[in-house]
Structure 1
Amino acid sequence: MSDEADVANDLMQHAINVGIRNAHDQIKKPSNQTGSCIWCEEPVKDDRRWCSIECRNEFESYQKKKEN
C-alpha cells in the first residue's frame, strides 16, 4: 500500500518525464532543404547538410578557424 509520499513521488516523476519529453520534442535538428551539400554543393539525400563525413569535417574545421 502506498503512502502520500509515494503518490507525490510518482506524480513528480510523471511531471518530470512529461517535461523531458516535451523539451526533447522541441529540439530541432539543423537541416538542409536545398538538396545540396552545404560545403561542396554535391547532391545529398533527404535534408542532410553534407554529402560525406569528409565534407562535414572540412566545414567544421573551417568554421572553427573562422571563429578564431
Structure 2
Amino acid sequence: MIFKVVIVLVLFVIIASLFSALYFLAKDKDAGVRTVKALTIRIGLSITLFVFLLIGYYFNWIPHAAT
C-alpha cells in the first residue's frame, strides 16, 4: 500500500514541476533559467520513479500480473 502512495505522490510532484516550468516559460522575460531548472527536476524525478519501479518489480514489491 505504501508503495502505491509513494508512486502517486511522486507523480503529483512531477506534474507540479511540469506546470511550474510552463508558468516560468510564459511569465519570465529572461533566458528561461527557471524553466530549465524545473524541467531538469521533472526529468530527474521521472528517472528516479522509473528506477524505483524497476527495483520494486525485481524485489516483488509490485505483484506480478496473473496470466
Shared fold by TM > 0.5? Answer: no
Higher helix share: 2
TM-score, length-scaled by structure 2: 0.40
For normalisation by structure 1, the TM-score amounts to: 0.39
